[in-house]
Chain A
């Protein structure tokens, strides 16, 4: 297992290098003037395009521009993000904690609800709970995130002012920016607990409820379907019949013999979901006005913020490799037959 992990970690720089070369190559499809126009906000500034091309070396050969960027990365300098108005490293550090908070909350809901409802649905196949879970999961996968998110916002903020958008309410925001509050992690819920400010904790949590539900419903719906079909497949296996024939009670059969073996595809999907969540949920973050990493990445792409896009791609590549590795380790833990 250790060899496997080391091998994967050694591959990481290669994956990252490949990703960044690809991104850089794609940006070269645009002319230097097009890339220079990133620095121009309105027609009043058009006269400066040639000077901007010269200043940033946008007309230099691809390998030179990439080489400059790579040397910067090796020095720990990922470049400057014009969208974030700070360095790429600062932007990742700043935006990521929000995304982690959202991920932790929604991922817990996704896995919990997904596995629970998927199992329940399979065990009670063709009963009302199965029908209900299938309807809910079809609605979840069929309904676009922004529709679901806006509907929740309209209901639970527009009509019932319970869960406002943004990260904190005005009072809480002013408090966390005062001298009385110390920031440790950048995650408001965690920092509030560490500061023993329970009202801030509650306020931060209140602002995370709707985005978490939005994400959770959309993704859990997929997980329910995967869990259900995997469980149905497993419940038909001989060893499950044997377990029942041995006289084991049904909950034990389901939990220990069926569900554990049905979890392999669920783990695969969950690892992808986790990486996806950690890379940010653009629409959810936008609708609920949350400063997460996904919204920054999407804006950077839309505005041709090349350093930010490349840095973001690098970050996601690392997350993906680590997420896949975590899934591989979990496979071995769940299924003793799997060894590396």
Chain B
């Protein structure tokens, strides 16, 4: 035997031995890195500055783990609160909410300490809230507090200049009185406590100023306001918070954020985990192998990939988790026809659709009856979606479980089509394009289902489907060019107003592009915002659901459920629908057999 052949033989034998002799590592595997939790995710962090971050990963990393809020959600509830930095949850009963429901008093817990050992003061709270509002970057989250507290969506005028009185307005609205922070809203707003539970992240003013950030003065606002890039803020890579974890580092090259335990955590024992590592691993196959080997404890998995992690030894899948997300099919009542490739001839001549095609409610209802919801749920979400009946997702206050909605009905669909545009649509047919953002498998499937449903009704109905890059998609939606398209909405805070407003109010995010306006809808939404009476609010939302059904500018497809994939050795995990990432609240987590 020649030397080369002998080496080849040895190599083959070695490989065979290794393959046979080494069992799957997962079976009976000891807990790997017992005091470190590793979450391998697909996305990237945007910023660790609490006033900038608006992406789920960044918020999910820091919120409540590093930066604490005044109040927090009780366990898995989204409408019941416990004190966090505040000593009490304001209510009418304890007098911390004024009779007119405009003034909220938050007594700050004197025991609260930042991770550097300094006390959390009311002044820190005020500074943090004001900083959050005054930073107001384009596309950022500041509008949530701005619109709620002072009734203005932005700190800038139409020309993009800072409003001269904005600092004073906010400064007046948020007051420090003794050990209390008193916030006065421009008008009653029922979801305010819910917003405070998610968006009142408190950081150390002293530490922020020491890092060169805003000094808290009116003169300094111009420099703080609307930074051009995420790294233009001094707290880009983190601030000092009072949470159970501290940011150790954000390694942007390796796309890793490392949190380390706050040994001096003020609420009690330090967390069981010494470190938590958030690491971007784009390739699913790599994430899966890391989970299998115990090099990751929690990983991101899409629905389409779920079957690939089922049955893995030492791996637990927690399915059917409530998430506050609504997926919908939007119809544009006044399509921008300028250079628009999606509406064919632009006329009702069988080769296109006119720009006001969807302004006829019969067209909209016909589409709603034509769509095959069961196939959609099965193929796009593996059945893991609750079919929709309005903008408010199931599980949230204001959702009407008995609200009427469309079901697939061929006869009714044909009847509506025959009525649409005086019967011309049925006689002459149409041609249009259904759009979705490319890369979104569920929406691609939904587009194909709609195409086949419509074309099966009438041979004169011609439907194309087209995926657009996300940037193109959003831009064209904003320009009103998309005739019929799929989009979704995830909660900024767990209140129905955060759903009915963007979906239905004439100033909402979606309705502008759809040209949908109903004065009764606007009135109901605004009334529900103002009243603190839960029953009256509920009635408003139920009525809005009825209007959503009768007007149907948007077909509410459903509320997908989520799932989390983790190693069985992860302990203390629980889920609240308002959590942004599957790791949830890190303070309660540990690892052990």
**A304 in contact with B36 given A80-B231, A85-B230 (CB within 8 Å):** no
Q: Kindly state whether residue A170 has any CB partner on chain B within 8 Å.
A: yes
B286 and A42 form a contact (CB under 8 A): no
- A150 to chain B: which residues have CB within 8 Å? 285
**Whole-angstrom CA separation of A235 from B139 in the bound complex:** 67
Q: Kindly state whether residue A69 has any CB partner on chain B within 8 Å.
A: no
- B229 to chain A: which residues have CB within 8 Å? 80, 82
Q: Kindly state whether residue B475 has any CB partner on chain A within 8 Å.
A: yes
A37 and B488 form a contact (CB under 8 A): no
Task: Determine the residue in chain A with the shortest Cβ distance to B492.
Answer: A44
A289 and B489 form a contact (CB under 8 A): no
Q: Kindly state whether residue B212 has any CB partner on chain A within 8 Å.
A: no
- B488 to chain A: which residues have CB within 8 Å? 43
- Interface stretch (choices A153-161, A242-250, A268-276): A153-161
- Within the complex, which residue of B18, B36, B138, B471 is in contact with A51, where a contact is CB–CB below 8 Å? B138
- Within the complex, which residue of A80, A85, A153, A288 is in contact with B46, where a contact is CB–CB below 8 Å? A85
CB distance from B218 to the nearest CB of A (A): 23
- Within the complex, which residue of A39, A80, A85, A98 is in contact with B44, where a contact is CB–CB below 8 Å? A85
B487 and A43 form a contact (CB under 8 A): yes
**Whole-angstrom CA separation of A42 from B470 in the bound complex:** 9
- B46 to chain A: which residues have CB within 8 Å? 41, 85
**A42 in contact with B490 given A82-B229, A94-B253, A159-B19 (CB within 8 Å):** yes
**Whole-angstrom CA separation of A18 from B146 in the bound complex:** 47
B54 and A85 form a contact (CB under 8 A): no
**Whole-angstrom CA separation of A340 from B448 in the bound complex:** 62
- B283 to chain A: which residues have CB within 8 Å? 286-287, 289
B271-305 CB mask vs A (1 if < 8 Å, else 0) is: 00000010101110110011011010000000000
A153 and B44 form a contact (CB under 8 A): no
A289 and B472 form a contact (CB under 8 A): no
Within 8 A of A (CB), among B421-446: none
- B156 to chain A: which residues have CB within 8 Å? 51
**Whole-angstrom CA separation of A86 from B230 in the bound complex:** 9
- A87 to chain B: which residues have CB within 8 Å? 231
- A44 to chain B: which residues have CB within 8 Å? 54, 489-490, 492, 502, 509
- Interface stretch (choices A9-17, A28-36, A251-259, A321-329): A28-36
A45 and B45 form a contact (CB under 8 A): no
Q: Kindly state whether residue A177 has any CB partner on chain B within 8 Å.
A: yes
CB distance from A152 to the nearest CB of B (A): 11
- B513 to chain A: which residues have CB within 8 Å? 46
- Within the complex, which residue of B18, B36, B289 is in contact with A158, where a contact is CB–CB below 8 Å? B289
A40 and B285 form a contact (CB under 8 A): no
- Within the complex, which residue of B255, B290, B472, B509 is in contact with A43, where a contact is CB–CB below 8 Å? B509
Q: Kindly state whether residue A233 has any CB partner on chain B within 8 Å.
A: no
Number of interface residues of B (CB under 8 A): 66
CB distance from B437 to the nearest CB of A (A): 10
A48 and B253 form a contact (CB under 8 A): no
Interface residues on A, range: 35 or more
Q: Kindly state whether residue B510 has any CB partner on chain A within 8 Å.
A: yes
**A46 in contact with B160 given A41-B46, A82-B229 (CB within 8 Å):** no
**Whole-angstrom CA separation of A40 from B140 in the bound complex:** 9
Interface of B is mostly: mixed
Q: Kindly state whether residue B38 has any CB partner on chain A within 8 Å.
A: yes
A164 and B509 form a contact (CB under 8 A): no
**Whole-angstrom CA separation of A38 from B230 in the bound complex:** 13
Among B47, B285, B489, residue most surrounded by chain A Cβ atoms (within 10 Å) = B285
CB distance from A288 to the nearest CB of B (A): 7
Task: Determine the residue in chain A with the shortest Cβ distance to B254.
Answer: A291
Q: Kindly state whether residue A5 has any CB partner on chain B within 8 Å.
A: no
**Whole-angstrom CA separation of A33 from B471 in the bound complex:** 8
Q: Kindly state whether residue A95 has any CB partner on chain B within 8 Å.
A: yes
B282 and A45 form a contact (CB under 8 A): no
Q: Kindly state whether residue A136 has any CB partner on chain B within 8 Å.
A: no
Task: Determine the residue in chain A with the shortest Cβ distance to B43.
Answer: A41
B470 and A37 form a contact (CB under 8 A): yes
**A160 in contact with B475 given A48-B138, A165-B290 (CB within 8 Å):** no
- B22 to chain A: which residues have CB within 8 Å? 159-160
- Within the complex, which residue of B226, B258, B470, B479 is in contact with A55, where a contact is CB–CB below 8 Å? B226
- B416 to chain A: which residues have CB within 8 Å? none
Q: Kindly state whether residue A313 has any CB partner on chain B within 8 Å.
A: no
**Whole-angstrom CA separation of A173 from B25 in the bound complex:** 22
B38-69 CB mask vs A (1 if < 8 Å, else 0) is: 10000011110000001100000000000000
B470 and A84 form a contact (CB under 8 A): no
- A164 to chain B: which residues have CB within 8 Å? 290, 293, 295
**Whole-angstrom CA separation of A48 from B54 in the bound complex:** 14
B254 and A167 form a contact (CB under 8 A): yes
A289 and B226 form a contact (CB under 8 A): no
**Whole-angstrom CA separation of A304 from B474 in the bound complex:** 13
**Whole-angstrom CA separation of A38 from B138 in the bound complex:** 12
**A161 in contact with B25 given A33-B475, A48-B139 (CB within 8 Å):** yes
Q: Kindly state whether residue B6 has any CB partner on chain A within 8 Å.
A: no
Q: Kindly state whether residue B477 has any CB partner on chain A within 8 Å.
A: yes
B494-515 CB mask vs A (1 if < 8 Å, else 0) is: 0000000010000001101100
- A84 to chain B: which residues have CB within 8 Å? 252
Q: Kindly state whether residue A52 has any CB partner on chain B within 8 Å.
A: yes
Q: Kindly state whether residue A7 has any CB partner on chain B within 8 Å.
A: no
B286 and A288 form a contact (CB under 8 A): yes
Q: Kindly state whether residue A49 has any CB partner on chain B within 8 Å.
A: yes
B509 and A34 form a contact (CB under 8 A): no
Q: Kindly state whether residue B306 has any CB partner on chain A within 8 Å.
A: no
A157 and B293 form a contact (CB under 8 A): yes
B471 and A38 form a contact (CB under 8 A): yes
CB distance from B534 to the nearest CB of A (A): 26
- A153 to chain B: which residues have CB within 8 Å? 285-286, 289
**Whole-angstrom CA separation of A98 from B510 in the bound complex:** 44
**Whole-angstrom CA separation of A330 from B19 in the bound complex:** 45
CB distance from A261 to the nearest CB of B (A): 27
- Within the complex, which residue of A37, A177, A286 is in contact with B475, where a contact is CB–CB below 8 Å? A37
- A98 to chain B: which residues have CB within 8 Å? 253
Q: Kindly state whether residue B163 has any CB partner on chain A within 8 Å.
A: no
- B469 to chain A: which residues have CB within 8 Å? 304
A157 and B289 form a contact (CB under 8 A): yes
- B77 to chain A: which residues have CB within 8 Å? none
- B476 to chain A: which residues have CB within 8 Å? 33-34
- A48 to chain B: which residues have CB within 8 Å? 138-139
- Within the complex, which residue of A39, A52, A129, A170 is in contact with B38, where a contact is CB–CB below 8 Å? A170
**Whole-angstrom CA separation of A54 from B138 in the bound complex:** 11
Task: Determine the residue in chain B with the shortest Cβ distance to A97.
Answer: B253
- Within the complex, which residue of B19, B25, B160, B471 is in contact with A37, where a contact is CB–CB below 8 Å? B471
A84-96 CB mask vs B (1 if < 8 Å, else 0) is: 1111000000110
- 24 sample A-B contacts, Cβ–Cβ < 8 Å, listed by A number: A37-B475, A40-B139, A41-B46, A42-B55, A43-B502, A46-B478, A52-B138, A55-B138, A55-B226, A83-B44, A85-B45, A85-B231, A85-B252, A98-B253, A129-B4, A153-B286, A157-B289, A158-B293, A159-B22, A160-B22, A165-B281, A173-B254, A291-B254, A304-B469
Q: 8 new A-B pairs (CB below 8 Å) besides A85-B252, A165-B290?
A: A33-B475, A43-B489, A44-B54, A51-B156, A86-B252, A95-B253, A160-B22, A287-B286
A residues at B contact (CB < 8 Å):
30-31, 33-49, 51-52, 54-56, 80, 82-87, 94-95, 98, 129, 150, 153-154, 157-161, 164-167, 170, 173, 177, 286-289, 291, 295, 303-304
B residues at A contact (CB < 8 Å):
4, 18-19, 22, 24-25, 33, 36, 38, 44-47, 54-55, 138-140, 156, 160, 226, 228-231, 249, 251-256, 258, 277, 279, 281-283, 285-286, 289-290, 292-293, 295, 469-479, 487-490, 492, 502, 509-510, 512-513
The 4 closest A-B pairs by CB, nearest first: A33-B475, A45-B139, A37-B471, A34-B475
